[in-house]
Chains A and B, each alone.
Chain A
Amino acid sequence: MNKARHNPLNSAAAHGALILYTLIALFPVFVILINSFKTRKAIFAEPLAPPLGDAFSLIGYQTVMKQGDFFLYFQNSFIVTVASLFFILLFGAMAAFALSEYRFRGNMLMGLYLALGIMIPIRIGTVAILELMVQTGLINTLLALILVYTAQGLPLAVFILSEFMRQVSDDLKNAGRIDGMSEYAIFFKLVLPLVRPAMATVAVFNMIPIWNDLWFPLILAPGESTKTLTLGSQVFIGQFVTDWNAVLSALSLAILPVLVLYVIFSRQLIRGITSGAVK
């Protein structure tokens, strides 16, 4: 690398700033984690002390496990998140391909219409959505949540993916057409692998809000069998008494799957975010 551009002082300053930001960002997570391993008394006495000696306790985790349905909540969250992501990516990519690849009347208007969803929050339509779900009998099903999250994620997915798909070489798609590949084969075999980094970006941006959402599970699927993890954790928060051990333990556990999914997607994600910048 060029020496002039590799000043150790600049490098140290950049790393210093990044480390500082990392510490600030991770601090709340750190506090949740250490306090989830402490007794209630220790949490309130010294929130920042590590869980050592007398302060150490697994009571929070025990409460959460005893609550019984915690694994079911976990499973519900997982199903809803993964299924929603799958449909967002599938339909988002298909719509993006159509918008970027084919010339048809109203293409531009359709693109604008789909992008409109980015600007208007879906929660404004909650009452209408609730009425619709009641009429179709989808209240208290995971399907209701999956449908709503898919609708919520599609606008941004279409917007991002169609930009990336425009960059896929026309010659490549035409070569596929001449070799006799169907439009579906061109989409799945040629175009999708090339926009994989963008897909990962869309997946991560959608995954976290869906996993953390409290609003729609509370309204559309509050039943015991369809509670998601975030909603399930609320049982420990009462109007007068809150079981902080249990809440913190539940939150700590809820971080894990997101972390795992993020690690899987992160290499692709970084390529997706930087792909426009460095080329």
Chain B
Amino acid sequence: MTALVLESINKSFGSVDVLKDINLTVEPGEFIVFVGPSGCGKSTLLRTIAGLEDATSGRIMIGGRDVTTTPPAKRGIAMVFQSYALYPHLDVEGNMALGLKQAGEDKATITARVATAARMLSLESYLKRRPAELSGGQRQRVAIGRAIVRKPELFLFDEPLSNLDAALRMATRVEIARLHRELGASMIYVTHDQTEAMTLADRIVVLRDGRIEQVGSPMELYNDPANQFVAGFLGAPSMNFLAAAPLGAPGATLGIRPEHLRVGKEGRIRGRTTHVERLGGDTNLLVTTEAGETVTVRLFGQHPHQVDEALALDFDPRHAYGFDGKGQRLRS
């Protein structure tokens, strides 16, 4: 049985097509991340799966059931929102229990499930507090707890970490990964942050302009991108794209990751450094080439390079990606 099947989902708002022919199968227990720039339709796709938006055409199956016309509450899903969306008039316990109450569960079950979720998320001492009395991180944990108590077949996360500060984001990311292992549930997670996508996902779905560009494990996408968009979207600092012809490579554009560029005396690319970023573990050089292109070089460790230094860069052709004029990958 599959956790989720999407069959040629299309969605239009008026004359604007937001989702175009989306096909996807999610296996039970998989952690899928939808990633893409803002406006690519990833949130709309998630809301369509949740049933908050109706697909214009196509079929949605969750846990083997066709839920295309089923209301959100009966789809066997739970959703965690970016803005937490806690009920302001209920305390933490009430927030977590509401879904079960609406579903008509008996009191003992509700208490037991809320207690389990509270223990998993260390929320036991906050059960009687209102959302207004909690910090951002605690609120997000309550929102996750509200999803857990429903025991859904599919968890949906809509950019859950965007409103948290950097340190808390890291901690909550680890916590979500731990929950995924403990619960073994299928999860779909929307983000525009490629670090979250790379660290959490079993498989990443890269979306652009309402289309799926590529689906695969983080390393598959990183090492073997299908096109220039995926290549440029994943990885930080992002991939360098250079005109292919002057370097004697086929195709229109040659993509080289910053860590695959070598600095040396001789090299096919010549230029001057315009900026040096020292991060301790890494050193990033911004180099303007003789052809006027800007290239990022990532060196591991600490290096004594200075601004406005003449450099020669070289690369291993095995670590370079050729793209044609339309941005599609050239396979040799």
Taking Cβ atoms with an 8 Å cutoff, the residues of A that contact B are: 169, 171-172, 174-181, 189-190, 193-194
In the complex, which residues of chain B have a beta carbon less than 8 angstroms from the beta carbon of A181? Answer: 73, 98, 102
The answer, yes or no, to whether B219 is at the interface (CB within 8 Å) is no
Contact indicator A180/B102 (Cβ below 8 Å): yes
Give 1 or 0 for each of B64-91: 1 = CB within 8 Å of chain A CB.
0000000111100111011111111100
Contact indicator A169/B99 (Cβ below 8 Å): no
Residues 113-152 of B contacting A (Cβ, < 8 Å) = 146, 150
Contact indicator A174/B83 (Cβ below 8 Å): no
Cβ-closest chain A residue relative to B81: A171
In the complex, which residues of chain B have a beta carbon less than 8 angstroms from the beta carbon of A172? Answer: 83, 85-87
Nearest first, the 4 A-B pairs at minimum CB distance are A180-B73, A180-B102, A171-B85, A179-B99
Contact indicator B99/A180 (Cβ below 8 Å): yes
In the complex, which residues of chain B have a beta carbon less than 8 angstroms from the beta carbon of A180? Answer: 73-74, 99, 102-103
State the CA gap A176–B86 with chains docked (Å).
Answer: 9
In the complex, which residues of chain A have a beta carbon less than 8 angstroms from the beta carbon of B150? Answer: 179
Asked whether A189 and B89 contact (CB < 8 A) given A174-B79, A177-B72, the answer is yes
User: Distance (Å) between the CB of B157 and the closest chain A CB?
Assistant: 12
The answer, yes or no, to whether B50 is at the interface (CB within 8 Å) is yes
State the CA gap A139–B247 with chains docked (Å).
Answer: 93
In the complex, which residues of chain A have a beta carbon less than 8 angstroms from the beta carbon of B82? Answer: 171
Instruction: List 30 interface pairs A-B (beta carbons < 8 Å), by A numbering.
Output: A169-B85, A171-B82, A171-B83, A171-B84, A171-B85, A171-B158, A172-B86, A174-B52, A174-B72, A175-B79, A175-B86, A175-B87, A176-B87, A177-B51, A177-B52, A177-B71, A177-B73, A178-B72, A178-B77, A178-B79, A179-B99, A179-B102, A180-B74, A180-B99, A181-B102, A189-B87, A189-B89, A193-B88, A193-B89, A194-B88
User: Distance (Å) between the CB of B11 and the closest chain A CB?
Assistant: 13
Contact indicator B89/A178 (Cβ below 8 Å): no
State the CA gap A174–B87 with chains docked (Å).
Answer: 11
State the CA gap A194–B89 with chains docked (Å).
Answer: 9
State the CA gap A169–B146 with chains docked (Å).
Answer: 18
In the complex, which residues of chain B have a beta carbon less than 8 angstroms from the beta carbon of A179? Answer: 73, 98-99, 102, 146, 150
In the complex, which residues of chain A have a beta carbon less than 8 angstroms from the beta carbon of B77? Answer: 178
Residues of B within 8 Å of A, CB-based: how many?
27
In the complex, which residues of chain A have a beta carbon less than 8 angstroms from the beta carbon of B99? Answer: 178-180
Taking Cβ atoms with an 8 Å cutoff, the residues of B that contact A are: 47, 50-52, 71-74, 77-79, 81-89, 98-99, 102-103, 146, 150, 158
In the complex, which residues of chain B have a beta carbon less than 8 angstroms from the beta carbon of A178? Answer: 50, 52, 72-73, 77-79, 99
The number of residue pairs between A and B whose CB atoms lie closer than 8 Å in the complex comes to: 59
User: Distance (Å) between the CB of A176 and the closest chain B CB?
Assistant: 8
Contact indicator B81/A175 (Cβ below 8 Å): yes
State the CA gap A177–B102 with chains docked (Å).
Answer: 11
In the complex, which residues of chain A have a beta carbon less than 8 angstroms from the beta carbon of B83? Answer: 169, 171-172
In the complex, which residues of chain A have a beta carbon less than 8 angstroms from the beta carbon of B158? Answer: 171
State the CA gap A179–B150 with chains docked (Å).
Answer: 9
Interface centre among A169, A174, A194 (most CB of B within 10 A): A174
User: Distance (Å) between the CB of A110 and the closest chain B CB?
Assistant: 18
Asked whether A174 and B102 contact (CB < 8 A) given A179-B73, A180-B73, the answer is no
State the CA gap A169–B163 with chains docked (Å).
Answer: 15
State the CA gap A172–B90 with chains docked (Å).
Answer: 13
Cβ-closest chain B residue relative to A182: B102
Contact indicator A190/B87 (Cβ below 8 Å): yes
State the CA gap A217–B52 with chains docked (Å).
Answer: 48
User: Distance (Å) between the CB of A57 and the closest chain B CB?
Assistant: 53
Cβ-closest chain A residue relative to B89: A193
In the complex, which residues of chain A have a beta carbon less than 8 angstroms from the beta carbon of B98? Answer: 179, 181
State the CA gap A193–B130 with chains docked (Å).
Answer: 15
In the complex, which residues of chain A have a beta carbon less than 8 angstroms from the beta carbon of B102? Answer: 179-181
In the complex, which residues of chain A have a beta carbon less than 8 angstroms from the beta carbon of B79? Answer: 174-175, 178
In the complex, which residues of chain A have a beta carbon less than 8 angstroms from the beta carbon of B89? Answer: 189, 193
Cβ-closest chain B residue relative to A176: B87
State the CA gap A190–B150 with chains docked (Å).
Answer: 20
Contact indicator A174/B85 (Cβ below 8 Å): yes
State the CA gap A169–B77 with chains docked (Å).
Answer: 20
User: Distance (Å) between the CB of B16 and the closest chain A CB?
Assistant: 13
Cβ-closest chain B residue relative to A172: B85
Cβ-closest chain B residue relative to A173: B85
State the CA gap A172–B85 with chains docked (Å).
Answer: 4
Given contacts A171-B158, A172-B86, A190-B87, 5 further A-B contacts (CB under 8 A): A172-B87, A178-B52, A178-B73, A179-B102, A179-B146
State the CA gap A278–B21 with chains docked (Å).
Answer: 45
User: Distance (Å) between the CB of A275 and the closest chain B CB?
Assistant: 15
Cβ-closest chain B residue relative to A169: B83
State the CA gap A176–B85 with chains docked (Å).
Answer: 9
Asked whether A174 and B88 contact (CB < 8 A) given A179-B73, A180-B99, the answer is no
User: Distance (Å) between the CB of B148 and the closest chain A CB?
Assistant: 13
User: Distance (Å) between the CB of A193 and the closest chain B CB?
Assistant: 6
User: Distance (Å) between the CB of A32 and the closest chain B CB?
Assistant: 43
In the complex, which residues of chain B have a beta carbon less than 8 angstroms from the beta carbon of A169? Answer: 83, 85
In the complex, which residues of chain A have a beta carbon less than 8 angstroms from the beta carbon of B52? Answer: 174, 177-178
In the complex, which residues of chain A have a beta carbon less than 8 angstroms from the beta carbon of B103? Answer: 180
User: Distance (Å) between the CB of A53 and the closest chain B CB?
Assistant: 57
